[in-house]
Amino acid sequence: MLRERAGGQQYMTTSRSLFAVSLMIISNLRRCTFTSVPAINYTPAAHRTLIVLRCAKSHRPFNSVADEDYQAEVQMLQPGTILPHPSTVSHDIKAIYLTMSILVRQYFMVCILAACK
């Protein structure tokens, strides 16, 4: 899917690549404790995934990425980073939800079939 960044630049994204990064980040976060947070190499997909997780877990609005203070923080930590539009965050959450719901359904179907034997 073709997306547009601020300034008119375009980039490609797919739900599949975002989903793969989401699984990697979620599995890494499960292993962390309150005193250790795993280092995640910066990629636009990993950053978008963390934004989605932050919005979903903390019940934050999608437009929190448009907050000037948040944008300043991101620029301080990773200069040149282009944040996704709030509608992109909304789309990403829906895409991850749909993909994960299919996997959860498949998981339980296997469990039910295994229990029937």
Ranges of each domain in the chain:
2-116
pLDDT digits (tens, 9 = 90+) for 38-97: 677 888 888 898 899 899 888 899 999 999 999 999 999 889 999 999 999 999 999 888
Element (H or E) spanning 114, and its range?
A: helix 86-116
* Residues 42/9, Cβ–Cβ less than 8 Å: no
pTM: 0.62
What are the Cα distances from residue 15, in Å, to 11, 62, 66?
A: 13, 18, 22
